[in-house]
Amino acid sequence: MVTWSNFFSQLFNGLALGALLALISSGLTIIYGTLGVLNLAHGAMFMLGGYAGYVAYERTGSFIVAVIAGTLFLLVVGVVMERVIIRHFYKRPPEDQLLVTFGLSICFVEIVRYFFSSLSKTVPAPAVFSGITNLGFMFYPTYRLAVVGIVALALLALFLVLYKTRLGLIVRAGIEDSVMVDSLGINVDRVFMLVFGIGAMAAGFAGIVNAPVVSLAPDMGEAILVQTFVVVVIGGVGSFPGAVLGGLIAGEIISITSMFNPGYAYVMLFAAMTLVLMVRPHGLLGVKGRE
Amino acid sequence: MQDPKSNSYNHRRRDFIRTGLGVAGGLALPAGFATRAFAAAPAPLGTWPAGVTGDTVYIGAAVPRTGPYAVQGEDELKGMQLAVEHINEGNELVRKIAPKLKKGLLGKQVKLLVADSGAKPNEAVQAEQRFINENKIMAMTGSTSSAVAVALNKFAQREKVLYLVAISGSNDTTGKDCARYSFRQCFYGETAANAIGPVLLKTYGKNKKAAFMTPDYTYGHTVTKSMNDYLSQHGGWTMVTNQVSPLGTSDFSSYLTNIANSGAEFIINVNWGRDAVLSIQQAKQFGLTPKMKMVIPYQIPFLAKEVGPELTEGVYAATDFWWTLEDKYPLAKMFVEAFDKKYGYKPEWGANNAYMQFAIWARMVSEADSFYPPDVIKTYEKGETFESTVGKVHFRAADHQLVRPVVIVRGKKPSEMKNKEDYWEVMEVVPGEPLMQKPDAFGCQLGDYT
């Protein structure tokens, strides 16, 4: 199926796929970069955002309300999670952090399954974005087009927070050298809480924005988590621009490979990750020593 | 490993002893002979006799309660639970299938043990191993993925514990990877293709272009091959593209983009469970359907409920069972009523398959009057005809596949639905026998009894 029209279609589809991966991955990478905690519950948070939005949508019938609810709910979940559990693990070995976040993700998934069952739930796309758009070279679901724009805006907002605010400055400094930031007398404790909240919020936002594209199921976060890890590794651990770049690269690899042989789409993704690890062990935009 | 012949020799010898003890005694043979003869009772095999010494026998189920097949796994589990309840109380329905059954099985209560397989072969095998070690299960079941079924086939054969295949449509399950210790109630993918193929050709005509969507494991590949073989050989259809995706895919956009550019008129969607739900919803979002017609070779429980009847309207599918068959078969009516009463919804085919598998096992054990695995297997292999929820059926001895009809359904329009679960219209019930390839066509080698 290698034709020019299919090539352009896939190129475009890769962009849409990559944008979403970029958004989810940015939350994961900021948290890891700042707090040093690899949050295995990130996929479950993505799922929680979707379900929180679903509940809000069922109550109000408004997609905007659903997006706000999904996002804010995860901000709260993130902050509570950090205060009650995660902060006790900053000084503990990485394997403890992995286990506790992994355990939390199982709890989240099973709680949702208990209340909502495994039957998938659908949040319809808002009426303005329903239907199909003719791009000239292909037809594309209007809502997926809108998602590209929505995600771009969200990434811009994250960028502004990280690069144009005092909080962002501290976060970026913390990624480079958290001991130094601490010894400069900055209240790292509060910053950590906020960063975890913002990372969770990004996952929640992505979850509800993604809900009309892929209907909700309790274990939907599992597959996404693996992909976001690949994105973060390709882009460079702890690097926000790296997550964006990695997301777009991953999206394109999946789409373009599937044009030749769909069975190899994910094989190629992991092959690319392996290649990056061999050539640039710290990722494309990662910096040596940043852990 | 002994060969089957020496086992039948053991049988004859046991029979001889049972009936001829008096004669032997009368002849006043030396005591040594009698001792040797008693020692010839079958040696322990698998979990036998350890699993039948108490007043309870266990069945170990490894069903997917998480992952892409979780919805179907839950339904399947309910079918099993209902069957166990019916076996233990000697319910009328199960006694129609297993007439010699009384309360419980050979005087023992049956108990179901459950583990989550997540539709993963390694997890299913580990769970069953645990049940064998700890509970000495006399039968195992589970699978909503043929990859699991094939793994459990091999495991059952190695452990010498019967495996009652749950949902599994691959040609390999009773074909290339068949096992002496394994039995399947639901049909081959090939049988489904042979049943739905003629309906498609009659409805849509010859020389059409079809895009296939295939989940990347044994079920997907064998069903896609069977469908494509039938449609190309009998109707001159061409496969313009085959989109293979890993089990558990959530975003089908790149596959659907290929299909959009392929010039296909039909999408033959072999995806299953949640993958099917998502691919069908997304095909609609991309505007592929209803312009292209969707065909589902092997129907998926709860599909219509999850995607909504608007998306299954006019879709043809082959299935094991649909609840409106209650109008046609008295046992189906009894089953649907009992299930609905207990669980509050109409059973899907996964639940029916699970129930039937347990009821058939109860039949074979009670007919054999023994839990000894080779005795039970040989009772299956007699190939006797018995009643089921889809009429009279029988097992083929050569591949352990049930010969049973295939039900062709078509998605109803929302306006035609008589109640909220009336999603499919039964178009045809195709007798199974003429649809089936020879038992050895897929290279089945059953393996040993002991």
Considering the domain architecture, whether residues B253 and B363 belong to the same structural domain is answered as no
Which has more pLDDT, B308 or B16?
B308
Structure tokens at B160: 């010498």
Considering the domain architecture, whether residues B119 and B204 belong to the same structural domain is answered as no
Q: Is residue B439 one of the residues assigned to a domain?
A: no
Contact status, residue B247 vs residue B217, Cβ threshold 8 Å: yes
Residues of B within 8 A of A6 (CB-CB) are 257-258, 261
Contact status, residue B407 vs residue B401, Cβ threshold 8 Å: no
Three-state SS sequence of chain B: CCCHHHHHHHHHHHHHHHHHHHHHHHCCCCHHHHHHHHHCCCCCECCECHHHCCCEEEEEEEECCCCCCHHHHHHHHHHHHHHHHHHHHCCHHHHHHCCCCECEECCEEEEEEEEECCCCHHHHHHHHHHHHHHHCCCEEEECCCHHHHHHHHHHHHHHCCEEEECCCCCCCCCCCCCCCCEEECCCCHHHHHHHHHHHHHHHHCCCCEEEEEEECCHHHHHHHHHHHHHHHHHHCCEEEEEEEECCCCCCCHHHHHHHHCCCCCEEEECCCHHHHHHHHHHHHHCCCCCCCEEEEEECCCCHHHHHCHHHHCCCEEEECCCHHHHHCCHHHHHHHHHHHHHHCCCCCHHHHHHHHHHHHHHHHHHHHCCCCHHHHHHHHHCCCCEEEECEEEEECCCCCEEECCEEEEEECCHHHCCCCCCCEEEEEEECCHHHCCCCCCCCCCCCCCC
- Is the minimum CB–CB distance between A121 and chain B shorter than 8 Å? no
In whole angstroms, what separates CA A227 from the centre of its chain?
A: 9
Please give the pLDDT value at position B11.
53
ipTM: 0.86
Considering the domain architecture, whether residues B299 and B335 belong to the same structural domain is answered as no
Whichever domain contains B84, its CATH number is 3.40.50.2300
Q: Is residue B332 one of the residues assigned to a domain?
A: yes
Residues of B within 8 A of A258 (CB-CB) are 243, 254-255, 257-258
Structure tokens at B377: 């297997």
Considering the domain architecture, whether residues B104 and B152 belong to the same structural domain is answered as yes
Contact status, residue B385 vs residue B392, Cβ threshold 8 Å: yes
Considering the domain architecture, whether residues B319 and B345 belong to the same structural domain is answered as no
Contact status, residue A259 vs residue A14, Cβ threshold 8 Å: no
- Residue B37: pLDDT over 50: no
Structure tokens at A173: 């400094």
Considering the domain architecture, whether residues B106 and B204 belong to the same structural domain is answered as no
Q: Is residue B122 one of the residues assigned to a domain?
A: yes
- Is the minimum CB–CB distance between A30 and chain B shorter than 8 Å? no
pLDDT tens per residue, range B237-252 = 999 999 999 998 889 9
Backbone angles phi, psi at A172, to 5 degrees: -65, -40
Q: Write the residue in B65, B216, B286 that is nearest to A141 by C-beta.
A: B286
Portion of chain B with pLDDT greater than 90, in percent: 86
Considering the domain architecture, whether residues B147 and B111 belong to the same structural domain is answered as yes
Please give the pLDDT value at position A181.
82
pLDDT tens per residue, range B170-201 = 999 999 999 999 999 999 999 999 999 999 99
Considering the domain architecture, whether residues B151 and B55 belong to the same structural domain is answered as yes
Burial of A210 (0-12, 13-18, 19+ CB in 10 A): buried
Please give the pLDDT value at position B391.
96
Q: Is residue B433 one of the residues assigned to a domain?
A: no
- Residue B22: pLDDT over 70: no
The residues on B that touch A, with CB distances below 8 Å, are 65-67, 70-71, 74, 216, 241, 243-246, 248-251, 253-255, 257-258, 260-262, 274, 277-278, 281-282, 285-287, 302, 305-306
Please give the pLDDT value at position B24.
43
Please give the pLDDT value at position A175.
74
Considering the domain architecture, whether residues B162 and B225 belong to the same structural domain is answered as no
pTM above 0.95, yes or no: no
Question: Which of B312, B328, B326 has its CA nearest to residue B269?
Answer: B312
Contact status, residue B319 vs residue B72, Cβ threshold 8 Å: no
Q: Using the 3D structure, point to which of B402, B418, B433 is the last residue of a domain.
A: B402
Q: Is residue B415 one of the residues assigned to a domain?
A: no
Q: Which residues, 6 or more positions from B119, have their beta carbon under 8 angstroms from its beta carbon?
A: B64, B67, B68, B69, B73, B144, B145, B147, B148, B247, B273
Cβ contact, residue pair B257, A144, below 8 Å? no
Q: Is residue B422 one of the residues assigned to a domain?
A: no
Question: How many residues appear in chain A?
Answer: 291
Q: Is residue B217 one of the residues assigned to a domain?
A: yes
In whole angstroms, what separates CA A266 from the centre of its chain?
A: 18
Mean pLDDT of B44-60: 94
Domain count, chain B: 3
Considering the domain architecture, whether residues B97 and B111 belong to the same structural domain is answered as yes
Cβ contact, residue pair A265, B254, below 8 Å? yes
Considering the domain architecture, whether residues B26 and B62 belong to the same structural domain is answered as no
Task: Give which of B76, B209, B250 to mutate to test A binding, by max A Cβ within 10 Å.
Answer: B250
Q: How far is residue B160 from each of residues B60, B156, B163, B288, measured CA to CA in Å?
A: 14, 6, 9, 49
Residues spanned by the domain of B359: 51-186+328-402
Backbone angles phi, psi at B379, to 5 degrees: -70, -40
* CA nearest to B279 within chain A: A214
Contact status, residue A106 vs residue A233, Cβ threshold 8 Å: no
pLDDT tens per residue, range B307-360 = 999 999 999 999 999 999 999 999 999 999 999 999 999 999 999 999 999 999
Cβ contact, residue pair B261, A9, below 8 Å? yes
How would you classify residue B154: left for phi > 0, otherwise alpha for psi between -120 and 50, otherwise beta?
Answer: alpha
Mean pLDDT of B255-284: 94
How far is A57 from chain B, CA to nearest CA, in Å? Answer: 18
Q: Is residue B436 one of the residues assigned to a domain?
A: no
Question: How many residues appear in chain B?
Answer: 450
How would you classify residue A210: left for phi > 0, otherwise alpha for psi between -120 and 50, otherwise beta?
Answer: alpha
Domain boundaries, chain A: 20-221
Cβ contact, residue pair A215, B302, below 8 Å? no
Contact status, residue B60 vs residue B132, Cβ threshold 8 Å: yes
Contact status, residue B57 vs residue B371, Cβ threshold 8 Å: yes
**Whole-number average pLDDT of chain B:** 91
- Residue B135: pLDDT over 70: yes
Q: Write the residue in A14, A219, A262 that is nearest to B243 by C-beta.
A: A262
Distance CA B176, CA B63 (A): 23
Structure tokens at A82: 């950090």
Contact status, residue B204 vs residue B293, Cβ threshold 8 Å: yes
pLDDT-flagged residues of chain A (< 70) = 1, 288-291
Considering the domain architecture, whether residues B311 and B336 belong to the same structural domain is answered as no
Q: How many CB pairs under 8 A join A and B?
A: 106
Three-state SS sequence of chain A: CCCHHHHHHHHHHHHHHHHHHHHHHHHHHHHHHHHCCCCCCHHHHHHHHHHHHHHHHHHHCCHHHHHHHHHHHHHHHHHHHHHHCHHHHCCCCHHHHHHHHHHHHHHHHHHHHHHHCCCCECCCCCHHHCCEEECCCCEEEHHHHHHHHHHHHHHHHHHHHHHHCHHHHHHHHHHHCHHHHHHCCCCHHHHHHHHHHHHHHHHHHHHHHHCCCCCECCCHHHHHHHHHHHHHHHHCCCCHHHHHHHHHHHHHHHHHHHHHCHHHHHHHHHHHHHHHHHHCCCCCCCCCCCC
Portion of chain B with pLDDT greater than 70, in percent: 91
Contact status, residue B425 vs residue B356, Cβ threshold 8 Å: no
